[in-house]
Amino acid sequence: MNERLEAIKGNIIYAEALGELTVMPDSWIVTEGGIIRGIFGELPERYAAAETTDYGDMIITPSFTDLHLHAPQYPMLGLGMDLELLGWLNKYAFPTEAMFSDAGYARRVYSKLAHALIERGTTRVCIFSSLHREATNILMDELEKAGVTGYAGKVNMDRNGSKELIETTEESVAETRLFIEENKDRKLIKPILTPRFTPSCTNELMEELGKIAAEYPDIPVQSHLSENTDEMKWVKELHPDCAQYWETYDKYGLWKNRTVMAHCVYSDERERAAMKKAGVWAVHCPDSNTCIASGIAPVRTMLKEGVKVAMGSDIAGGAKLSMLDVATEAIRVSKLRWLFGGKRDEERFLTVAEAFYLITGAGQEYFGARPGFCIGDRLHAVVFDDRGMADNPRMNLSERLERIIYLGERQDIKAVYSEGIRRI
Ligand code: GUN
Ligand code: FE
């Protein structure tokens, strides 16, 4: 580990809690060996020897977290959007993922994806691979090389796949064990158990995954929950003994603290209470939920009830990799839900500051850091240069952040730091 003393200067904005923005104009973040030592208006004398980078009038925020996306769907971004979930999986997702039996292809696509994430300011992810172990290892290599941290999972699917995208129960279990052993000592990207969703996994497989989860208590679980009404009907047919979808995971020991469940569009009060009780995280993926016409998740209600919520791009159900786009989509759909959901008094739409927290602070917490820029945490930050946008001297700093969230593009990102190291 380098113990370099560094200091970066700019207009610092972060969210320590839902809806709370902290704005520190013209301030310094000091790091030592990549670890934050403090934020200061003037660089303190004791840090006078620091290597400094002055970003002038630019805006520095925590980098983004994407808690749900599918790496092998990157080549089908923006395809198949006339379909709903189950048809889309069969016609687009499964054939695309099947191509990742080819390690050379995986290397090419995953190298691009890893850089695309970093270039858009995403430095922490919970990411699905395909069922292929070799391609999953390649994905982890490429993410680490680019500086993307978090969790990646080899997908489990031993039923209802396609001829070219399916594994036997025995293969699935053996490959998962090998995948964990090969990757558990990585520094930046750790393994996560990834049963695709209940219809993809036999009861025998779920049971074995539950055993693995118990053997490796530090390895979390990620999957999908209550995304689409046809999917939910199917789950009910497959598990008539379970009153609700979540119980199909709970039955096998996969519903536990830090389990990540994407979507939760149709999670009702009982399912949400089960999430809160177990410490399961809901990942809101608004762009996916509109693109493949799944619905609008009750985010305001989940937040009010104290369910842990973070945000995901869910590419390629979602068509946008940038978490800035995901944040604005979350705001838009929350307004539609507020307008047309019949609960105007209870479900106020999301504000910009709230959406900003959900793509930064919420995910920071999932990964064991504290929201914002906290002393002792490693620096994960994005530096925005908004001079490419129209000059508007009337804007204050939080308005400039709002405009960046709505309009920001790759070219407006000047620098990205992950684990204290500047990556672009
Ligand atoms: N449910 C099971 N697999 C998938 C997937 O690949 N994408 C989405 N959005 N939902 C799923
Ligand atoms: Fe998904």
Tell me: the pLDDT tens digits for 127-159? 999 999 999 999 999 999 999 999 999 999 999
Q: How far is the CA of 267 from the centre of ligand 2 (A)?
A: 16
DSSP 384: E
CA atoms within 13 A on the CB side of 180: 19
Please tell me whether residue 237 adopts helix, strand or coil conformation.
helix
Distance CA 122, CA 407 (A): 17
Residue nearest to atom 8 of ligand 1 (CA): 317
Q: How far is the CA of 410 from the centre of ligand 1 (A)?
A: 27
Continuous segment of H or E residues that includes residue 58: strand 51-62
Angle at CA of residue 221, ends 69 and 113, nearest 5°: 25
Res 2 pLDDT > 60 = no
- Asked if residue 63 lies in contact with residue 121, where contact means CB atoms within 8 angstroms, the answer is yes
CA atoms within 13 A on the CB side of 25: 5
Position 416, amino acid:
V
Ligand nearest to the CA of 72: 1
Write the pLDDT tens digit of every residue in 302-337: 999 999 999 999 999 999 999 999 999 999 999 999
> Residue 116, preceding bond cis, omega within 30 degrees?
no
DSSP 71: G
pLDDT at position 3, please? 87
Ligand nearest to the CA of 227: 1
For 379, the token pair is: 């620096």
- Asked if residue 331 lies in contact with residue 358, where contact means CB atoms within 8 angstroms, the answer is no
Mutating to test ligand 1, I would choose from 196, 225, 288 the residue with most ligand atoms within 8 A of its C-beta, which is 196
| Beta carbons within 8 Å of 150's beta carbon, 6+ residues apart | 65, 124, 125, 126, 127, 143, 188, 189, 190, 367
Res 1 pLDDT > 60 = no
Write the pLDDT tens digit of every residue in 206-258: 999 999 999 999 999 999 999 999 999 999 999 999 999 999 999 999 999 99
The structure's pTM equals: 0.98
Position 321, amino acid:
L
Continuous segment of H or E residues that includes residue 137: helix 133-146
